[in-house]
Amino acid sequence: MNLDAGDVDPELDQLTPRERQVLRLIARGYSYRDIGTELTISTKTVESHVSSVLRKLQLSNRHQLSHWASERHLN
C-alpha cells in the first residue's frame, strides 16, 4: 500500500505524532536507545510509545511493526 499525500490511512491516523516518529525510526532499524537519543527521550519512553503503537495496530512484536511500516513505505 503506497499512500499519496491526499490518501488517508485510518490505522496510521490513530497514532499520535510522536508515535509516528517512533514508528518511522523503528522501520529504519533504529534501536530503542538510538530512537531515544534521536528524539531526546528516555529508552523507557520509547518502549512506552512502541507498546502503545503495537496495541493500537493490533500487532504482537517489533518485527511485525517493522513489516507493517515497510508495507506503507514509512521508512
Q: What is the pLDDT of residues 18-43, one digit of tens each?
A: 999 999 999 999 999 999 999 999 99
State the cell numbers at 38.
Answer: 534521536
DSSP string, 12-43: HHTS-HHHHHHHHHHHTT--HHHHHHHHT--H
Under the banding of pLDDT at 50, 70 and 90, the label for residue 74 is: confident
What is the reported pLDDT for 1? 43
Question: What is the per-residue pLDDT for 8?
Answer: 65
Reported pTM: 0.83
- Mean confidence (pLDDT) of the chain: 89
Domains and CATH numbers, the chain: 15-71 (1.10.10.10)
